[in-house]
Amino acid sequence: MDKIKCIVVDDEPLAVSLLGSYVEKIPFLELVFSTENPIEAMEFIQNNEADLIFLDIQMPELSGINFMKIVGSKLKYILTTAYTEYALEGYEHNIIDYLLKPISFSRFEKSTQKALERFTINETKENTYFFVKSSGQQHKINFDEILFIESIKDYVNIKTENQEYIVLDTLKSLENQLPENFARVHKSFILNLDKIEKIDVKNVCLSSGREIPIGETYKSDFFKRLKK
């Protein structure tokens, strides 16, 4: 994959310099812009390509939280701050990690590995299949064969047209690897939208005849997806 294009935003000059030097030591990162002013960072984003922002939360011109609300999920974030109380609020946004100052290079490096994994997962969404480990073996599963995926405690059941695979994983992890024609419709279910036969207010009936419940939390987003 291409290098991950990074921006550093922090109102402290020393922090900007330190994080910039850290970025330059990571071979898969590229520093494309750094600034002490979050408004300048927004202007840069409007006119240039970037993937990841190392973003301070506590800044006088504009807080990191408000910055993320304005910029949105166009970019991914690694938050940096000396204030632990902001961590929980920060995780409501599209962030990869949270770095507490003072930031050591070893901790920074671990954070960038998380970023690499996230971007690599996004790239795999262009594939037509993935591999999962079930019954001690690696199995290739084509996305278009999957009917639904069900959470069963610490495992998930991937149900295809001809078989099912019990995998030690989470729905959230698999959701990040699936293409756009999959949707979370319940806390325990992800389904393939192409396999829908009919829908009522409470359930989705798949082409296999299996009915999948629609959870209240997911109902609004699910029906918006269908309209598209």
> What is the model's pLDDT at position 226?
79
CA distance 13 to 82: 15
CA distance 8 to 124: 27
Read off the pLDDT of residues 76-120 as tens digits, 9 standing for 90 and up. Answer: 999 998 876 554 444 445 688 889 999 999 999 999 988 887 777
Which residue stretches of 12-124 are H helix? 13-25, 38-47, 64-71, 87-90, 105-124
Instruction: State the amino acid at position 211 in one-letter form.
Output: E
What's the DSSP call for residue 74? G
- Cα distance between the two ends of the chain: 30
CA distance 213 to 40: 47
pLDDT band at 136 (very low <50, low <70, confident <90, very high): confident
Mean pLDDT of the 9-16 span: 96
The helix/strand/coil state of 60 is coil
Whole-prediction pTM: 0.55
Q: Which of 9-13, 25-29, 152-156, 220-224 has the lowest mean pLDDT?
A: 220-224
